[in-house]
Amino acid sequence: MDLDKKIATRASYGEALCALGEKNDKIVVLDADLSEATKTNMFAKKFPNRFFDMGISEQDMMSTASGLASSGQIPFASTFAVFAARKSL
């Protein structure tokens, strides 16, 4: 990751997930059908067995992330904040 290069925050997120995934095989990524927008598609291409597209189901994604965390995985659940907040009501 080049720290002097200006790129979109979400692109940095995708790159950082890939870098973390290379260092730790317990890192898993969940996405709510937005991998192109959140740039988690970078992680999905590099680590397809550790990427989960949960569809448009943020509540399920968060519950799944909790279960993965309680079993020793390190989940990153990715969606837009407005969807995560709306679905939790």
Q: How many domains does the chain have?
A: 1
CATH number at 47 reads 3.40.50.970
Inside any domain, residue 65: yes
Give the 3-state secondary structure of 43-89: HHHHCHHHEEECCCCHHHHHHHHHHHHHCCCEEEEECCHHHHHHHCC
Under the banding of pLDDT at 50, 70 and 90, the label for residue 89 is low
| 58 included as an active-site residue | yes
Inside any domain, residue 22: yes
Taking the CB of residue 40, how many other CB atoms lie within 10 A of it?
Answer: 27
Domain that holds residue 80: 9-87
Inside any domain, residue 1: no
* Torsion angles phi and psi, residue 77, rounded to 5: -95, 125
Report the pLDDT value the prediction gives residue 2, as an integer from 0 to 100: 64
pLDDT tens digit sequence for 31-66: 999 999 999 999 999 999 999 999 998 989 999 999
Inside any domain, residue 4: no
Fill in the DSSP letter of residue 28.
E
One-letter identity of residue 17: L
Active-site residue, from 15, 22, 36, 58: 58
Asked if residue 88 has pLDDT above 70, the reply is no
